[in-house]
Structure 1
Amino acid sequence: MSIAENIHHFEAQLQGTNCRLVAVTKTHPVALLQEAYNAGARLFGENKVQEMAAKQPELPVDIEWHLIGHLQTNKVKYIAPFVHTIQSVDSVKLLQEIEKQGAKNGRLINCFFQFHIADEETKTGLSILEAEEILQSEAYRAMRHVRLTGVMGIATNTDDEAQLRREFQELRSYFEKLKASYFPDSEAFREISMGMSADYRLAIEEGSTLIRVGSAIFGHRNYATSAS
């Protein structure tokens, strides 16, 4: 199927749910992203700052750019002028840098806490206690250019549906705890980003509001070529 057909396939599956599609565009060239845009995709997810910063000027201005990969503090400045949401916040240090760059650019930047839910040490993310420590800190309370709008997690790479459900349920429970304790009156704090090409159906059943889909839209990536 074509990229457009794949986009329409996912949009059809998401009808009647509270979930939206983030097209994961890492390593894919601008021409393919334009195809996805022409088919109706508006939320694009990139893993690397350099790629996102290179592609953004080449594409329509109404794209909602989501940084979904690990973010180093020294690279926040390159995406702060335009990024819509940083889904991978995993430290107060990173949040402070986003606040600093948001202030420099006169912007309010949406952020998700990334939680460690997978049974894999290579995956990064916060524990619920670490997230609460950040929310209770003076540093966070002083922030004016950061807006926490949800949570993100990457499940274990497994075919075990029971395990995947447990991990998705764990992330949803973190969202619900933070919503009840820290954001009860916030309409903005509403996103649960979980589910990818292989496990998005389970994620939707468990309450995902954003699925991150790459290979099922664009095909397998070619890491040997430049994606700029």
Structure 2
Amino acid sequence: MAYKPPFQSYQEIQNKKKNRSPMVFGVLSVLFIVAGVLLIWNWINGAGGGGFSLFQTDTPTPTTTATMPPPTNTPENTLIPTETLIPTITPTGTAAVPFEYQVQSGDSLSSIAENFGIDEIILIMVVNELRSDFLTAGQVLIIPNPDMELPTPTALPPGLRSGDVIEYMVLPGDSVQIIAEKFLSTEDGIIAENELSDSYLIFPGQILLVPYWLITPTFGPPDSTATPIVTPTP
């Protein structure tokens, strides 16, 4: 082996180190570049939802949780109160016998007569002794048989003398004055005979006692064929 001076050996060692340094730096640079590319690639694929991951993370494992169905309410037999219907009497047809009827709101004598097939309102007024056709809700009326006839003028009994008392059924539109003129009587005589407190307190169907022929007529005796003195029969 050839002998090399110490200086020459040291110089060779330094030269070798200088030759190795660029190579080391080159390798490290390549490694850093590759690592950077991998990081960028991993980030891009990670944002897209898949791909290679440089640093793997634990993937959560889905677990199945048993869910109990909600309890089913079983309906119980519950009694539901029901409304009790009150039957309403609707007048229909023709009544065979008189009966009671309770006046409803909005009723009138004419509407009641029409509902029950009664041709003459006076029948209702006579049977119920109404002084007028004014009705109130809740008032109870007797509805007569539609076949009931109105009182008709009946001849006065023969042989009547002045002052004799006759029976007279008041008709709608009558007054004590009209009755007195019809039988040549006086208002005071009729009021006294019937103990009326007021001469206007009479009503259709009312039976009055009328003193006959208390005044002397200037035109002869009253017409004996126009005197209704009978009471209607249902």
TM-score in terms of structure 2 length: 0.23
Query: Which structure carries more relative contact order (alpha carbon 8 Å, separation 6+)?
Result: 1
Question: Which structure's residues are more often strand, by fraction?
Answer: 1
- Report which of the two structures shows the higher radius of gyration computed on alpha carbons: 2
